[in-house]
């Protein structure tokens, strides 16, 4: 097997490569290990932290407007280099190129929001909190902060984190997924080019050793994490046990409710992308449709089957494809196994993607990790394919009699990341939005990912912490409040000793 | 020993008393155990949690304006019952009555802020995040929340927590200090009278068993804590390990910097109250003065000695006294021990409060836990009386040569709760405020406790978590962000399947 | 005719009465002139302005929290004196007592909002707008401000204005309607009792002479007005020509759109109160129903006729009545005249309230200004009863074929105060809200008066000025922004002459 | 005299030139009329308004994020074309090139702020304003808006206005000063290139006929103006008489207070640029120094004289010059006349710039409008050179005994645009900032022009209207608040007729 390159780290503005352990980086469309990535040992991570610590004082004192302008320039560089970045994503993650572009664009929107820093960092000023006493708040940076990101959005999720962190005046150590590390390194280079001083953003590739180092090192003030729920919980518990602030986003099992009054064509089209886009490897994907009434279920299923029949699956480099391969062989096997389990559990497999036959350019059966779209009917609570996050192109239809029954299901589920309802009815929409225990809710919007100027976060076991990712919450997460109370006594006013607690009496 | 009463719990609007363990509640001014308090076992705490859970749905759906008005009425009842509450505080904590009134008034200000709930709970609405797509955020309550509060502000600190929590739509279980539990129970009765439905606020008295039950119970969504740093860290690590959001405020060692240009009379008067008010049993007390230059030190010391000579120490029920007893015999011994240590460490004891002789009404030496004001000169970093939180009427003077040296000391200290600077110079003040690693900073204000419409919180090991107590941060801590994205498609618009990630392209 | 009392002015905390012109104040339910009101001459108004000017400096320097607390106490006093105030309103305006209570309660909500002043007056603080340069905004009071209010809400509309003005630190001269002046004077007394210093709020009764004095006096910084559009325009043009800031709210002709999918019972019930409550003498009343389709029109009309048949009209002191008299004989004649006009214009008069026969206690025909509810069908644009504000219990049904046609009508109308739509359809509601040129929009809410923590204001010729009444906009209207840019140069930094314009380069 | 070009208008994305009246555009450094500008007649202005009206609906419906991105691209184009723009400014206004760059950079910062539109346009969302009733505010654009700008900042002041207006969804007609119109036309071309659709921004050159057309045309919803106070007042009164919203910024006479404790070198250097930069043709220039005490006055004067002696005056194209010519011959004569008046009034002319001899490349005496820096001592209130805005390089020193006396002078002056204080003393600074009746205050900052994310505006006769220019206030000025109250009744809930006014009872 021929390795074209070895991906290292990016520390203090330079590529760093050492004799550390490595892991193969596969192209999921070919099954070939085309690159290697170095897995940082503790010393390398500490070097990155030290770099961030060194860069902090000057960056902290750089006016917010100047920091924001680096983000503006980065936005422009990301747009100019979009093709390169998308090619990296597709080569390592497998998703179709224009899906990669969608992801990148969302990431750019987060960079854009970070460029509003002068507005976002305003504190509150109160005149005369007492006679001639003023008080105000400042939102000061924390110091060195860190992010740990998953394989499924190799460009977007890192861009949820570090642009806001550095716009707020922090420095950052990013540990992206070792499955698809190239985009993060490349974007770090662009950031340098945009004017980010060396050390403000460092990227280390690695595995648990890196993660544990970041969680334990006392110089790291805050950790943002996106991944699966068990790891999210581990990161939250471990980081906080070390006294840090942590926000850890975990798994999901998003339900889409289809009401009888919904426009079925519209709902079906929306569900297709939400279920099968990026092979369902999105924490906002919709793997479950909850149809209210059998007639609704039948209509939705008929529509889905017709649309699935039109889908094209193949390498992500071909933008005519709707879906590329799964990310790794292990993940392919796991997802395929869930289809087997669903059948065994008694769900009705209407479309079986396990038999998909993708050919490569030579007409040979591809070694890529391709799984066709799968559709189950009669999925029921209690089944593993209902309870667990599959993260693959497997959509299940759950039939219920009423909106209340649908909402009870959703509210009883372990996860509360996203959900949506398809309806024309204002009352149903409002009732659903108000009472559903889910953090991100769509009304006729299948993937209700908040725009960059709002914040992203689920409820229940989909998020640990109190502040959501990006948007306004990120400003608060990446800053420490300082409150100043100021009085300028007249030059000849001795005051008097006040032993009682000061108040507005 | 005669027990006048046994203090129980307040659950679902009723006094609850069971055959649990009890602890004595002492009057620090007499040393007599005048009351007992029940220490809740796990079952009692769970009953309180169940009460809060039961009360939640109706309270959550009560419009914010109605919830706010309960707070307005409570404010009024607290004002009307101030004498009763202050008498309870003084009888159990020992502080002088007008100091108790200062504390209560600050607590009332927090209730007042909670009465602004309709303004504070506004979400952000964005029109046209995409074509005809709108998005907005709602700040929904969490459910059952809990607070664990310290002995030193038996009225104020609980009022930092639960009024904001319930104004946001949550229900609450409060576990106040078992040293001085009466005020919390009484205020809970007033809240009921003000219109708070039974179960919205529950009070359980107890010890570690109560704390651990609150930290582990899955129905409790969030925990606010104020106490010492080791316990704060325990609460933070344990609560987060159970997946909760936690804010845990710990200890302090607040430095007051006196610049050569400061008005010394003014600074001395300010320091007297900050050092000795409430026997220094305040997390915002000033136990360390950092004098810039020996001349400043000499002048400050001369002033302090003159003022200390005028101080009156005795029972808190006599409002002519400046200082009452310490809270318990154990604490008295501990603080006295620190004075011994300081002498042993080589600091210069200028005023020795250990020899104080307080007489009771019969002219007998009081059994109360009275310690006179103590003043050390030549306190130095490395000494235990410099590093550790004493929480008593012990003020130490540290001499340094420059503001930079003073700031380096403060920034190197474990704690970062409060600090202040006395100066007339704008540059010094701004430089200090900007660069000091402390959460609450006073300029010529000795106790820079933020007003109720700002938030309270320290840095470093004085606070674990990302949001501060009360004020705007409390709104965010006691609510969960929900983001809704809404589109109303035209009735005949089928849309089309979009497999790429949605973005603003 | 026996006059029970002469209503004067309230200046600097005292009742002021002089030999000025007077006007009779009638009881609309009896037609008797039961009181007189003095009409201030220029000197009296100037005395009130002088009083406000004198009270300003001390009030301006009173911390916002203290000012806010006066509002809290006033809220309580208003609640305690609600019966007295409502009796005054009913005796002079005529509306039914519980309608008066509804109005008062809304006014109290504005007082409540003013009590949030410490939160509302926060400025924005920016650290490091340049290196070591900070900048922040303060919202300082204006000085003497004034309000001119209409007869239809004698308690509520004044409470829209002066509580926010004084909470912001201004002093105020109120000129209420001379038709029903008692409530304003009485509430001013309560404000004094609540702790508002003398001179902070002054009330002068009067007519055009008073208005012109307020508009011309250079000490008056800002004028808020609510009344008819011609006078609003006069006030706006005149006040601004004198260099003042002015917000002037004028007339309305609010359309309610009923969609075919609406729940007709629900819509009819909503429309009844909106059309006939307070005799339609509300700027948010609904005098026009736009029914989409003839079937909808027929159903709505059938419902309205049935409900009208149940209505009771009589003195407002009898809370069993649904509607009281019109405010004056002149207004009664004018409204009745519009019914005549409508008939002449060709609209179909379905219910004729002109023939109403109200008897007094003695069984005699009442001399009160009672007009029964009137209902027209086939009202069309171009008719005077369509175009002009009638301000009486006259409801017209307009029939159109589509929502677009309805919206075109509304958007073409001179006024743009309020409107509402009855539907179950989310798309219709969103389309209507987005594109209608009206300031306050209800979805299934017939009187979409914004709550006190939002702001009130129409579009087009319903409001002159850029800021709406009460709520957040009132804070901005009653304050002047001051922006401070601060730098504390190092003591030995001479700087250098910079002849170029300073910027972030 | 040779005319190189005739400057026309820019309407609907195209250069428009007609047979209208023209005016000469002079190069102030040579006195030559190098260009002509067309002065639009009413029809041309109406064409521009019509263009803006036509472009409005589509632009209004363009999502804020898309509108914001046009601003981002424009920012970049302005940076890339800075040299061209600055050359235009210097050729027509006369200021030195790097001063032009400073101005342009400030303008770019306003474009940058406009690019934050998605954040700035957020409304407030309130859940449950009543049971199951929600309410929110939207900030919708106005339609066609207009701006009228002065000669002294031909790039910056237009950029204060239209970028925010269009970012908010409005379309715009700009009438720049006919003295230096080129930059506005050129920047409009860049905006088109950046993606602003034709008609969203139109530029008409003209004089009073243009102004009056804009003020009277009913399609124009709002007018922003910057110029002299008499014209500002005319624009305010006329525009409002036509029912529009207007903000009109007028003249200034900014005082700089120098306290005895100020670092005199630092203050002198700061004053030099503030007094003589751009020949004092800035509404934030400092033409008056108020020295506290004679010693301060002497020191300041000594410093100023020394610095003035080093100043170089000559063509703005030579960046070695500190000051260029005045803008026109008429203005040159007027300023020179003020120096004569000052001498006649008894002020002491310490430095006389009237005798300045500037030579052109050929060694000939320049025909440019060059006036040297002038310095008066003993300027006193009552003198015309104290009261009136000179707008030239004439600095006067006023001697007073105390800060109070200085503040009384400032507060008594007609204007209240900007002011500053030089001191090291926190108390003096705070007292000054709090009590001075001026809108923009500097502490050791000579030109306290607020940064783009705050707002610009004076007090007293320096600004007519209630909202300041650019920054947060501009969002509110260029939008109309719409408040929506929404309820989705249960499908079988008929409600009931409520004749009383709806409230929270």
Nearest Cα residue to D121 out of D61, D64, D159: D64
Residue C505 lies in a domain: no
Chain A hits for B487, Cβ within 8 Å: 442-445
Nearest to A187 by CA among A89, A285, A262, A90: A89
Angle subtended by helix axes C182-194 and C64-80, to nearest 10 = 130
Q: What pLDDT was estimated at residue C1?
A: 39
Sort out which chain A residues have CB atoms less than 8 A from C123's CB and list them: 124-127
pLDDT tens by residue, A50-91: 999 999 999 999 999 999 999 999 999 999 999 999 999 999
Chain A: residue whose CA lies nearest to C503: A65
Q: Which residue segment(s) compose the domain that B428 sits in? A: 255-443
Looking at the partner chain, which of B119, B429, B486 has a beta carbon nearest the beta carbon of C116?
B119
> CA D380, CA D347: separation in Å to the nearest integer?
8
Q: Is A488 on the interface with D (CB under 8 A)?
A: yes
B467-502: string of b/e by CB count within 10 Å (b at 16+)?
Answer: bbbbbbbbbbbbbbbbbbbbbbbeeeebbebbbbbb
Search chain A and give the residue with CA nearest B313.
Answer: A499
Q: How many CA atoms lie within 13 A of D18 on its CB side?
A: 18
Same domain, C98 and C239: yes
D163 and D280, same domain (yes or no): no
DSSP string, A318-340: STT-SB---S-HHHHHHHHHHHH
Residues 389-428 of D with CB under 8 A from B: 423-427
Q: Is D67 left (phi over 0), alpha (psi -120 to 50) or beta?
A: alpha
Contact call for A136 and C131, based on CB within 8 A? no
Q: Report yes or no: D483 at the B interface, CB cutoff 8 Å.
A: no
C488: contact with B, CB 8 A cutoff: yes
CATH number at residue A79: 3.40.605.10
Q: How far is CA D175 from the centre of its chain?
A: 14
Q: What is the pLDDT along chain C (505 residues), one digit of tens a residue?
A: 344 589 999 999 999 998 789 999 999 999 999 899 999 999 999 999 999 999 999 999 999 999 999 999 999 999 999 999 999 999 999 999 999 999 999 999 999 999 999 999 999 999 999 999 999 999 999 999 999 999 999 999 999 999 999 999 999 999 999 999 999 999 999 999 999 999 999 999 999 999 999 999 999 999 999 999 999 999 999 999 999 999 999 999 999 999 999 999 999 999 999 999 999 999 999 999 999 999 999 999 999 999 999 999 999 999 999 999 999 999 999 999 999 999 999 999 999 999 999 998 888 999 999 999 999 999 999 999 999 999 999 999 999 999 999 999 999 999 999 999 999 999 999 999 999 999 999 999 999 999 999 999 999 999 999 999 999 999 999 999 999 999 999 876 777 778 888 877 6
Q: What is the pLDDT of residue A3?
A: 45
Q: Which two tokens stand for residue B74?
A: 């409570």
Q: Which residues contact A2 (CB under 8 A, 6 or more apart)?
A: none
Task: Classify residue D497: in a domain, yes or no.
Answer: no
- How far is it, in rounded angstroms, from Cα B416 to Cα A243? 14
Interface test with A, best of D64, D110, D112 (most A CBs within 10 A): D112
- Check B86, B168, B283, B420 and give the catalytic one: B283
Q: pLDDT of A206-229, one tens digit each?
A: 999 999 999 999 999 999 999 999
Distance CA D182, CA D92 (A): 8
Q: Which of A413, A402, A381, A434 is closest to A258 using CA atoms?
A: A402
Q: Does A372 lie in the same domain as A304?
A: yes
Residue D4: per-residue pLDDT: 58
Q: How many domains does chain A have?
A: 2
> Mutual orientation of helices D97-114 and D82-93 as an angle, nearest 10°?
120
pTM, entire model: 0.96
C92 Cβ under 8 Å from any chain B Cβ: no
- Res C3: pLDDT: 45
Strands A5-7 and A32-39, sheet pairing: parallel
Q: Is A453 on the interface with D (CB under 8 A)?
A: yes
- Kindly identify which residue of chain A lies nearest to residue D493, measuring between CA atoms: A427
> Which residues lie closer than 8 Å to B252 by C-beta, 6 or more apart?
B283, B284, B285, B389, B415, B417, B418, B458, B462
Residue C167 near residue C71 (C-beta atoms within 8 A): yes
Interchain contact, D65 vs A451, CB within 8 Å: yes
- Do B187 and B259 share a domain, yes or no? no
Lowest mean pLDDT among A45-49, B334-338, C486-490: C486-490
Q: Which of D413, D443, D473 is the last residue of a domain?
A: D443
- Residues of B within 8 A of D125 (CB-CB) are 122-125, 136-138
Same domain, C265 and C240: no
Asked if D72 reaches chain A (Cβ–Cβ under 8 Å), the answer is yes
In a domain, A37, yes or no: yes
Q: What per-residue confidence (pLDDT) applies to D505?
A: 67
Residue A15 maps to a domain: yes
Q: B113 and chain C: CB distance < 8 Å anywhere?
A: yes
Q: What is the pLDDT of residue B4?
A: 58
Of C86, C168, C279, C283, the catalytic one is C283
On whether both B271 and B239 belong to a single domain, the answer is no
Burial of residue C261 (number of CB atoms within 10 Å: 0-12, 13-18, 19+):
middle
The answer to whether C420 is a known catalytic residue is no
Min distance D485 CA to chain C CA atoms (Å):
5
Angle at CA C21, nearest 5°, toward C20 and C26?
125
The Cα of D455 is separated from the nearest Cα of chain A by a number of Å equal to 12
With H, G, I as helix, E, B as strand and everything else as coil, classify residue C212.
helix
pLDDT at B505: 67
Q: Do C364 and C471 have their domain in common?
A: no
Mutate to test the interface with C, among A117, A119, A123, A432 (most CBs of C within 10 A): A123
Cα C357–Cα C359–Cα C365 angle in degrees, nearest 5: 75
Planar angle of CA B14, B18, B20, nearest 5 degrees? 135
- Residues of chain D neighbouring C322 (CB-CB closer than 8 A): 497, 499
Q: Residue A243: which of B439, B444, B464 has the nearest Cβ?
A: B464
Q: Is A156 on the interface with B (CB under 8 A)?
A: yes
Distance from CA of B450 to the nearest CA of A (A): 7
* Cβ pairs bridging C and D (under 8 Å): 309
CA atoms within 13 A on the CB side of B365: 6
Q: D475 and D343 in one domain?
A: no
User: Are the beta carbons of B119 and C122 separated by less than 8 Å?
Assistant: no
Same domain, B206 and B266: no
Handedness of CA B145, B151, B154, B156 (dihedral sign): negative
Q: Which residues of B touch C425 (CB under 8 A)?
A: 488
Torsion angle in degrees (nearest 10) through CA of B71, B72, B74, B79? 140
- Kindly state whether C128 is in contact with chain A, defined as any CB-CB distance less than 8 angstroms: yes
Q: Which residue has the tokens 């009466």?
A: B182
CB atoms within 10 A of CB C493: 12
Same domain membership, residue B210 and residue B170: yes
Structural domain contains residue C494: no
Is pLDDT of B493 > 80? no
What contacts A304, CB < 8 A, 6 or more positions away? A268, A271, A272, A289, A375, A395, A397
Q: Given A168, A283, A374, A420, which residue is catalytic?
A: A283
Higher per-residue confidence, B250 vs B493: B250
Residues in chain C closer than 8 A to A63 (CB atoms)? 128-131, 504
- Lowest average pLDDT, out of A277-281, A358-362, C145-149, C242-246, goes to A358-362
Specify the pLDDT at position C194. Answer: 98
The answer to the question of residue A492 being in a domain is: no
Instruction: For residue A267, tell me if it sits in a domain.
Output: yes
CA–CA gap between residue D384 and residue D341 (Å, rounded): 8
Helix C426-435, helix A426-435: angle, nearest 10:
90
C323 touches chain D (CB under 8 A): yes
- Residue from C142, C195, C194, C152 nearest C173 by CA: C142
- pLDDT value at position C505? 67
**Residue C333 is assigned to a structural domain of this protein:** yes
3-state secondary structure of C289: strand
Choose among C127, C138, C504: nearest Cβ to A138: C127
Residue C98: list chain D partners with CB under 8 A: 500
Q: Which residues of A touch C126 (CB under 8 A)?
A: 64, 118, 121-123
At D19 the pLDDT is: 79
Task: Examine the domain organization and report whether D289 and D405 are in the same domain.
Answer: yes
Supply the pLDDT for residue A412: 98
Does B236 lie in the same domain as B135?
yes
- For residue C433, give the chain B residue with the closest CA: B127
- A307 contacts in chain B (CB < 8 Å): 497
For Cα atoms C142, C145, C150, give the angle at the middle one, nearest 5 degrees.
150
Low-confidence ranges of chain D (pLDDT < 50): 1-3
Mean pLDDT (whole number) for A294-309: 98
Angle between the N-to-C axes of helices C294-310 and C264-276, in degrees from 0 to 180, rounded to the nearest 10: 60
B141, C455, C461, C478, D137 from C440: Cα distances, Å: 29, 9, 14, 22, 9
Q: Which residue from D151, D385, D396, D425 is spatially nearest to D256, judged by alpha carbons? A: D396
Q: How far is Cα C168 from Cα C432, in angstroms, rounded to an integer?
A: 36
For position C417, what pLDDT does the model report? 98
Is the CB of B124 less than 8 angstroms away from the CB of D127? no
Q: Cβ contacts (< 8 Å) between C132 and chain B: which residues?
A: 430, 434
> What is the least distance, in Å, from the CA of B42 to any CA of chain A?
24
Q: Which residues pair with D139 in a beta bridge?
A: D481
Interface test with B, best of A482, A490, A491 (most B CBs within 10 A): A482
**What is the domain-level CATH number for residue A310?**
3.40.309.10
Q: Test C127 with A137 for CB contact under 8 angstroms.
A: no
Mean pLDDT value of segment A237-245: 97
Of C65, C115, C488, which is closest to B430 when you measure between CB atoms?
C488
């Amino acid at each position: 097997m021929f390795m074209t390159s070895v991906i290292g780290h990016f520390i203090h503005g330079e590529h760093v490569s050492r004799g550390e352990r490595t892991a193969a980086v596969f192209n999921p469309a070919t099954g070939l290990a085309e690159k290697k990535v170095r897995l940082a040992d503790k010393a390398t991570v500490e070097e990155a932290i030290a770099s961030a610590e060194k860069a902090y004082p000057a960056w902290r004192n750089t006016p917010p407007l100047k920091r924001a302008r680096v983000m503006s320039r980065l936005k422009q560089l990301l747009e100019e280099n979009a093709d390169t970045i998308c090619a990296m994503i597709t080569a390592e993650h497998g998703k179709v190129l224009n899906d990669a572009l969608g992801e990148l664009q969302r990431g750019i929107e987060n960079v854009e929001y970070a460029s509003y820093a002068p507005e976002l960092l305003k504190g509150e000023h109160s005149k005369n909190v007492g006679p001639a006493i003023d008080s105000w708040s400042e939102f000061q940076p924390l110091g060195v902060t860190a992010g740990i990101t998953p394989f499924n959005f190799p460009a977007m999720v890192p861009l949820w984190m570090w642009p806001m962190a550095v716009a707020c005046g922090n420095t950052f150590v990013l540990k992206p997924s070792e499955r698809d590390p190239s985009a993060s390194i490349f974007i770090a280079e662009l950031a340098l080019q945009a004017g980010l001083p060396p050390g403000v953003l460092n990227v280390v590739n690695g595995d648990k050793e890196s993660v544990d180092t970041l969680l334990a090192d006392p110089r790291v003030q805050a950790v943002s994490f996106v991944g699966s729920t068990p790891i999210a919980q581990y990161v939250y518990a471990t980081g906080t046990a070390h006294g840090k602030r942590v926000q850890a986003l975990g798994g999901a099992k998003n339900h889409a409710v289809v009401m009888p009054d919904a426009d079925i064509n519209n709902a079906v089209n929306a569900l297709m992308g939400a279920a099968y886009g990026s092979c369902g490897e999105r924490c906002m994907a919709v793997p479950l449709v909850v149809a209210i009434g059998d007639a609704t279920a039948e209509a939705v299923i008929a529509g889905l089957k017709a649309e699935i029949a039109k889908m094209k699956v193949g390498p992500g480099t071909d933008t005519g494809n709707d879906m590329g391969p799964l990310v790794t062989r292990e993940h392919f096997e796991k997802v395929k196994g869930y289809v087997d389990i669903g059948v065994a559990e008694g769900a009705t497999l209407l479309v079986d993607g396990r038999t998909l036959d993708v050919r490569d350019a030579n007409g040979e059966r591809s070694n890529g990790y391709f799984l066709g779209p799968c559709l189950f009917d009669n999925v029921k609570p209690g089944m593993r394919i209902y309870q667990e996050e599959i993260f693959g192109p497997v959509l299940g239809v759950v039939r219920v009699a009423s909106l209340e029954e649908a909402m009870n299901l959703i509210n009883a589920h372990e996860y509360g990341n996203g959900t949506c309802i398809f309806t024309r009815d204002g009352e149903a929409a409002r009732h659903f939005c108000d009472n559903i225990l889910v953090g991100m809710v769509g009304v006729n919007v299948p993937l209700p990912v908040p725009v960059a100027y709002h914040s992203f976060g689920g409820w229940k076991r989909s998020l640990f912490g109190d502040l959501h990712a990006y948007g306004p919450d990120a400003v608060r997460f990446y800053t420490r409040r300082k409150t100043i109370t100021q009085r300028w006594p007249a030059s000849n006013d001795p005051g008097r000793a006040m032993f009682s607690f000061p108040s507005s009496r």
